Amino acid sequence: MVGRAEPVNGSVKSGSNQSIPAAMQSPLKKSDLIPNLSLKTLKLKTKQQELLIRVSILCLVYVLAFITRLFSVLRYESMIHEFDPYFNYRTTLFLTEKGFYEFWNWFDSESWYPLGRIIGGTLYPGLMVTAAIIYWLLRFLRFAIHIREVCVLTAPFFASNTTLVAYFFGKEVWDSGAGLVAAALIAICPGYISRSVAGSYDNEGVAIFALLLTFYLFVKAVNTGSLAWALASAFGYFYMVSAWGGYVFIINLIPLYVLVLLITGRYSMRLYVAYNSMYVLGMLLAMQIRFVGFQHVQSGEHMAAMGVFFLLQVFFFLDWVKHLLSDTKLFQAFLRITVTTAIGVAAIALGVGTASGYISPWTGRFYSLLDPTYAKDHIPIIASVSEHQPTAWSSFMFDFHILLFLFPAGLYFCFKRLSDATIFIVMYGLTSMYFAGVMVRLILVATPAVCLISAIAVSATIKNLTLVARAKNKVTQTGFVRGSSSSKGSSKASLDQSQPFQRNGAIALLLGAFYLLSKYATHCTWVTSEAYSSPSIVLAARGAHGNRVIFDDYREAYFWLRKNTPPDAKVMSWWDYGYQITAMGNRTVIVDNNTWNNTHIATVGRAMSSYENEAYEIMRSLDVDYVLVVFGGVTGYSSDDINKFLWMVRIGGGVFPVIKEPDYLVNGEYRVDKGAAPKMLNCLMYKLSYYRFGELTTEYGKPPGYDRARGVEIGNKDIKLEYLEEAFTTSNWIVRIYKVKPPNNRWERCSIFTLGPHRAALPFSGNVSWLGRITTSLQTLGLDEWIYRCPKC
Amino acid sequence: MGFRFDLLLFMIALLSVPVLSDRILSKVDRRIDLTTQAVRITSTLKVENAGSDLVSEVLLAFPDDQAKHLAYLTATNNEGKGKAKSSSVSFPVDVVRPKGMPPSLTFYSVSLPKGLGKGDSLTLEVLAVFAHALQPFPERITQADIQLVVFYETAHYLSPYAVKVQSLSVKLPDARIESFSKIENTKIHGSEIKYGPYENLPPFSYSPIAVHFEANQPFAIAQQLIRGIEISHWGNVQVTEHYNLVHGGAQSKGEFSRLDYQARPHVRGASAIRHLVAKLPPRAHFIYYRDEIGNISTSKLWGDPKKTELVIEPRYPMFGGWRTAFTIGYGLPLQDFLFHSEGKRCLNISFGSPINEVVIDTLIVKVVLPEGSTDISVSAPFPVKQGQETKFSHLDVVGRSVIVLEKTNVVPEHNQHFQVYYKFSSLSMFREPLMLISGFFFLFVACIIYMHADLSISKSSPSYLAKLQWYEVQAGVPQVRNIFDRCLTAHDKLEASLRDLSRTGDVQACKASRKAVDNLLKDLSKDLKPLLVSLQSSPQAAQILPKVEELIAKERELQEKLMVKHSTVVDSYEKKLSGREIENRVALQQQKITALRQEVDDLLDFIDEI
């Protein structure tokens, strides 16, 4: 602003005094107009102005980060999104109603029936406690708000806080300009917004803040060697552990970083203080979280940190001995002995620990991170989740946009100015980029690093360019002055000839940079509004007249369950909908999104992929009262249960070999039309999805029973249910709920005993009237026991 | 049918009861309206005083089974028949237990303030509204079945008085009637059944009848409705209504098929509740319709200056026995409902639900008055249970007083206005904004204090001292910078004087300005010395000091060069050399000066960054 105002003043002056050129240097004018004293105060003010500008930019970024995440609230309503957030919301509600101790000891009998789930010991409580504290604080300040509002706005609030941390981190790693750019970039980066829009009340919302905070505090601790910062970073780590399982990334990245510093000869007392105090205190704090507990010193994922901890001690010890021993030869010998012993002890400890089972091996999730193909072969339940798929290039582009190109540039700048801090950010960037490539959802972890490194690129480039532009500005101005004073400055002019070109180039590049950045902003806003702000529980589509059509079927079904089923009813559905059913339907579910028991999920998968009578046995054994399926055939909603069905088969088949995937495929092809496999056409999931669908005309000009999600006419239109009955179907058929009929009275059921009209269905006839003889005669006929449950009853 | 049998037994019991013979009903005309789920019985009674004493009350009798469903009862006197309805007077009605009356009857006494003299007669219009009086029969139906209900009444007016002439007409919603009791003088006209006239019946005559008919209108029953009415003196009355709704008709059994329902909604699902209409007051705004799990998008709103109509659809069509719960909320302009009367404020707002089809089992009205309201009193047109509680809302300290009014069996007839009187000072309105303002004020004050206070624990620790020194350095640097700025200004002045010289040729003026600048520069270098000393003494300035020293050296050099240039130019002018020659002589110096100036600027920028 100041710089822009001056030429205006100058031109005013030039009007009155022709000899002085337009772009006069400011000190000259000021000395003319303003006494010396005021010059001093003005200079001070510039400094303050800079602070003011910086603070106000930060404030704007803070606000921007918050409001850009409110699209979904404005488009839809203040509601919780997707699947996991519903569990978090339910637990938060419980926490605020019953208090912390009840929450900590909560045994939830409403999920994983009949096993139940120990909630307090199997979740990361950070998010819920955070929201509850905000809620209690606001209540204390006499703001009578609903806990739902707090939950909905927690993620945007923490995203705003993340921008502040990004600023300080950027300032620590590079300079305050880079910090500002980093804050601005991360505020609107789609990779982060995807998990932190209003309503996305998930662990990641606060975890990214905690992650970045821990890293920042640790880098600060390494830079200053201050115990206080190290302790602060330990507490940041504690918060991260309490919030998200992704803390494993921190506890492996930091040791790796320390190791790299040791190898590159950057070991210092600062590093020693920072790492040791952070690790020891962080470990003790992390063990307070019940879900982590002793895993922190026992499981394979945490061993790297411990190893580096001991390594640092050895390093320190050697350093000290070296300091005491003046003789280098003696020291060399000592070094050899110590290193050998240390490695030996470590190897033995690791071996004994692993062999005795004290150190647990790496979990499947961890393996699948290191080897992207692992999950597909060994853990179908992890592979079945779409956000666990390897990332496509397009989604990198979608989530990072220009940052993807700025990232290497930023790496270049970091390598050019190598320091402890830049090494850290480089390592963070490279490792997290690798993980982002392995799993879609880990783009989130990479986002802060990408933003920071890109910010360094942007800030350094723009700074260099403006320096060039400004410096040449001055020279040409002085040249001008001289030219007018003597009116013959030809020799000087030739000297400056290359400079205007350079300056123009710099200005052009600057404009280009601003164009790119503004493109980035446009892209981010577009992505946020179009892709990441849909709650996924309410579906919106464009109607024929351009109006917005809302499909609110999920809530319709859940609310129906909530109000019109017995309070102790058990609902069986695929695990995706478990959290939503318990939170919105308030009913007990068999399996839910906390996929802790694979066998249980496989049982449900088996029931869904069996014939109805077999499934009935399973459902009876699980006390199932209602079965809920999601069906998109009417609306063309493609993420329904039929499309997920193969995963049910795979997961079910993984535990129960009775279920074989090829039974459901025709020549390796998955079909639902006439050419589908017979087992497919008669399995429970198919029947429940398409029950009476064959009578419905979905699209003009198509035969009845035309499935719009898959674009085919279904193969089995005459579906009869024996053991289930349709209890409810939502207005767009997206959710269908079936009631499991109670077993019929035994005497009524089987015609053998009553000798009723169905007797002809039996492979024999005769006047038998008691059970023993029947069973024996059936056995002599070589029939399974279940056959005598007459299928027509 | 057991019910009817009970009544027969009870009729026999009636015969042994004394009779009040001083009053007779010369004419009774009853109309029963069965078109909605709330049964309305309008009886026109012509009471005659046949005794000799002044009669001040008339007794109305209902069987206990009926009385427990009785939701609303009024007795009015319609003087001028038909047109002059404005002159109708309503009489107070109370429950009484007269002695010697049969046990299973409930009596209501209509008090006549004026009394009824000997031989006088009076026409009473009695309106009784019953909730839950229609019983679904059969009790469980499938989706395809129609809903049938049965209604029991007596064809003869049950009264402790003798009735001379009476008649009864039953109005049904539809022409389809499954069956009805046929006794003497029964006629049927379309959807209306007429019993009577019957003449000269003794007191307590009773002749049970039953009507079994098709009723597909929704049986929406709100088991509980909580209406919250919150007054804000900033211009809004916020009404929030929490409904707990159940379909009270025949229970549905068997499958619910969406396909059938979609294909023929009026056949397969005829009795289902599809939508409800809430007639809100005019100028209602901020209307919402939601439930525990979020907004419900199936609602429509029409507004005109006379009313606002909100058509709400439950999330799913409600079949018999199905339940739902939802909340509607709306804001109303304060001036329409709040008035001043005798130094008090008076809220005048309707009691019942804006949804007319709904029968409410328990209605709780909670009027939330602004914080600081005193002298609260309520006046309701019918008896209600009153209570009081406290509610904490935004920025409340002591809480708001809440008037709780509770009433069971509420029918649309209860949709009358009630009044809440209270005292409230207008100044209290500003308490909460002031609280907010002062809150922020103190927050900022605290920030200012924090920024200015020295909170370090140890005043002698090295880090603290270092910090202090650093502050000194930070304070010193701008001063240094300032001095250099002034030096540069002086240089510019010198240059300017040279330009003036080239234009005017005034050598003297140029020399004078040279002298002034010389003095100025000398002063400045004097000023600089103490600053430099202080910088040198401080260990924290180690970073800056070399730069500052370099700067001083460069500036010196620049100054010297400038002086030389100045002298040369002035000399040349004195020697009257040509412009080109002067230019040539100065050129080399000028080049150096420019370079030096550039370096000085760079150094200054560097210092600025610190």
Q: Do B295 and A79 touch (CB under 8 A)?
A: yes
For residue A478, the model assigns a pLDDT of: 45
> Which residues in chain A are contacts of B397 at CB distance < 8 A?
142
Lowest mean pLDDT among B26-35, B76-85, B299-308: B76-85
pLDDT tens digit sequence for B449-459:
998 887 777 77
* Mean pLDDT of all residues in B556-578: 81
Helix axis angle, A393-400 to A443-486, nearest 10°: 50
> Which residues in chain A are contacts of B582 at CB distance < 8 A?
486
Q: Do B316 and A556 touch (CB under 8 A)?
A: yes
- Residue A115 dihedral angles phi and psi, to the nearest 5°: -80, -40
Q: Do A692 and B259 touch (CB under 8 A)?
A: yes
For residue A58, the model assigns a pLDDT of: 95
Query: By 3-state DSSP, what share of chain B in percent is helix, strand and coil, each rounded to 5?
Result: 35, 40, 30
Residues paired with A118 in a beta bridge:
A107
Report the C-alpha gap between A436 and A429 in whole angstroms: 10
> Which residues in chain B are contacts of A137 at CB distance < 8 A?
none
Closest Cα in chain A to B483: A40
Q: Do A39 and B396 touch (CB under 8 A)?
A: no
Band of residue A625 on the pLDDT scale cut at 50, 70, 90: very high
Q: Are A384 and A604 in contact (CB under 8 A)?
A: no
The alpha carbons of chain B give a radius of gyration, in whole angstroms, of 48
Q: Are A483 and A492 in contact (CB under 8 A)?
A: yes
Choose the closest CB to B498 out of A485, A555, A726.
A485
Q: Are A478 and A537 in contact (CB under 8 A)?
A: no
Q: Determine the distance in angstroms separating the CA of B366 from the nearest CA of chain A, rounded to an integer.
A: 17
Q: Do A30 and B489 touch (CB under 8 A)?
A: yes
Amino acid at A74: L
Report the C-alpha gap between B581 and B387 in whole angstroms: 107
Q: Do B488 and A27 touch (CB under 8 A)?
A: yes
- CA B221 to chain centroid, in Å, comes to 24
CA dihedral A443, A446, A448, A450 (to 10 degrees): -110
Q: Determine the distance in angstroms separating the CA of B237 from the nearest CA of chain A, rounded to an integer.
A: 18
Q: Do A555 and B294 touch (CB under 8 A)?
A: yes
Q: In chain A, what is the straight-line distance between the N-terminal and C-terminal CA atoms, in Å?
A: 86
Helix axis angle, A203-224 to A269-286, nearest 10°: 150
- CA A27 to chain centroid, in Å, comes to 54
Q: Do A39 and B256 touch (CB under 8 A)?
A: no
Q: Are A557 and A730 in contact (CB under 8 A)?
A: yes
b/e burial code for range B112-127 (CB count within 10 A of at least 16 → b): beeebeeeeebbbbbe
Q: Do A27 and B292 touch (CB under 8 A)?
A: no
Q: Are A573 and A629 in contact (CB under 8 A)?
A: yes
> Phi/psi class of residue B120: alpha, beta or left (left: φ > 0; alpha: ψ in -120 to 50)?
beta
Q: Determine the distance in angstroms separating the CA of B396 from the nearest CA of chain A, rounded to an integer.
A: 6
For residue A746, the model assigns a pLDDT of: 64
In DSSP notation, A30-66 reads: HHHHS-HHHHHHHHHHHHHHHHHHHHHHHHHHHHHHH
Question: SS3 for B411?
Answer: coil
Find tokens 């100044």 and name the residue: B427
Q: Which two tokens stand for residue B375?
A: 């002298």
Report the C-alpha gap between B63 and B128 in whole angstroms: 13
By DSSP bridging, strand B177-180 and strand B208-214 are antiparallel
> Which residues in chain A are contacts of B499 at CB distance < 8 A?
19, 485
Sequence-ordered list of residues with C-beta below 8 angstroms from that of A629, at least 6 positions apart, any chain: A573, A574, A641, A685, A688, A689, A735, A736, A738
Q: Determine the distance in angstroms separating the CA of A590 from the nearest CA of chain B, rounded to an integer.
A: 22
Percent of the residues in chain A that have a pLDDT greater than 90, as a whole number: 54
Asked whether the predicted pLDDT for residue A276 surpasses 80, the reply is yes
Report the C-alpha gap between A133 and B136 in whole angstroms: 52
Q: Do B485 and A43 touch (CB under 8 A)?
A: yes
What mean pLDDT is reported for chain B? 85
For residue A480, the model assigns a pLDDT of: 42
Closest Cα in chain A to B398: A142
Report the C-alpha gap between A760 and A612 in whole angstroms: 22
Closest Cα in chain A to B463: A226
Choose the closest CB to B324 out of A471, A552, A563.
A563
By DSSP bridging, strand B251-252 and strand B140-141 are parallel
DSSP H or E segment with residue B114: strand B105-116
pLDDT tens digit sequence for A104-148:
999 998 889 889 999 988 999 999 999 999 999 999 988 889 999
Q: Do B583 and A488 touch (CB under 8 A)?
A: yes
Q: Which two tokens stand for residue A44?
A: 């001070």
Report the C-alpha gap between A689 and A574 in whole angstroms: 13
Q: Do A43 and B478 touch (CB under 8 A)?
A: yes
Sequence-ordered list of residues with C-beta below 8 angstroms from that of B422, at least 6 positions apart, any chain: B344, B345, B347, B369, B373, B374, B375, B376, B377, B401
Neighbours of B134 (CB within 10 A): 26
Choose the closest CB to A144 out of B393, B502, B601.
B393
Q: Do A27 and B485 touch (CB under 8 A)?
A: yes
What mean pLDDT is reported for chain A? 83
Residues in chain B: 610
Closest CA to B219 of B273, B270, B265: B273
Choose the closest CB to B502 out of A471, A486, A733.
A486
For residue A27, the model assigns a pLDDT of: 40
In DSSP notation, B374-408 reads: EEEEEE-SS--EEEEEEE--TT-SS-EEEEEEEEE
- Candidates B223, B238, B259: best to mutate against A (most CBs of A within 10 A) is B259
pLDDT tens digit sequence for B96-129:
887 777 788 888 988 887 778 887 888 889 999 9
CA dihedral B540, B542, B546, B547 (to 10 degrees): -50
Q: How far is CA A426 from CA A216, A445, A455, A613, in A?
A: 13, 14, 13, 59
Choose the closest CB to B502 out of A144, A485, A559.
A485
Band of residue B507 on the pLDDT scale cut at 50, 70, 90: confident
Q: How far is CA A467 from CA A506, B411, B594, B605, B609, in A?
A: 9, 80, 18, 11, 13
**What is the interface size between A and B, counted as CB pairs within 8 Å?**
121
Asked whether the predicted pLDDT for residue B509 surpasses 90, the reply is no
Choose the closest CB to B322 out of A481, A556, A564.
A564
DSSP H or E segment with residue B610: none
pLDDT tens digit sequence for A431-479:
999 999 988 889 999 999 999 999 999 999 999 898 888 765 554 444 4
Closest Cα in chain B to A734: B258
Q: State the pTM of this model.
A: 0.83
Q: Are A713 and A705 in contact (CB under 8 A)?
A: yes
Closest Cα in chain A to B524: A36
Report the C-alpha gap between A592 and A588 in whole angstroms: 10
Helix axis angle, A269-286 to A227-243, nearest 10°: 30
Closest CA to A332 of A343, A345, A322, A342: A322
> Which residues in chain B are contacts of A43 at CB distance < 8 A?
478, 481-482, 485
Percent of the residues in chain B that have a pLDDT greater than 70, as a whole number: 94
- Residue A38 dihedral angles phi and psi, to the nearest 5°: -70, -25
Q: Are B161 and B200 in contact (CB under 8 A)?
A: no
Percent of the residues in chain A that have a pLDDT greater than 70, as a whole number: 84
Report the C-alpha gap between A16 and A13 in whole angstroms: 5
- CA A372 to chain centroid, in Å, comes to 18
Report the C-alpha gap between B505 and B484 in whole angstroms: 30
Amino acid at A520: Y
> Which residues in chain B are contacts of A31 at CB distance < 8 A?
489, 492-493
> Which residues in chain A are contacts of B255 at CB distance < 8 A?
725-727
Band of residue B609 on the pLDDT scale cut at 50, 70, 90: low
Q: How far is CA B163 from CA A273, A603, B11, B23, in A?
A: 105, 75, 16, 10
Q: Which two tokens stand for residue A583?
A: 């939170």
For residue A487, the model assigns a pLDDT of: 39
Report the C-alpha gap between A229 and A274 in whole angstroms: 8
Lowest mean pLDDT among A413-427, B40-54, B426-440, B577-591: B577-591
Closest CA to B255 of B265, B267, B270, B269: B269
pLDDT tens digit sequence for A683-721:
999 999 999 999 988 888 889 989 999 999 998 888 999
For residue B16, the model assigns a pLDDT of: 47
Q: Are B403 and B374 in contact (CB under 8 A)?
A: no
> Which residues in chain B are contacts of A584 at CB distance < 8 A?
293
Query: ipTM, 2 decimals?
Result: 0.82
Q: Which two tokens stand for residue A147?
A: 């806990």
Q: Do B258 and A474 touch (CB under 8 A)?
A: no
Report the C-alpha gap between A199 and B390 in whole angstroms: 32
Closest Cα in chain B to A31: B489
Percent of the residues in chain B that have a pLDDT greater than 90, as a whole number: 27
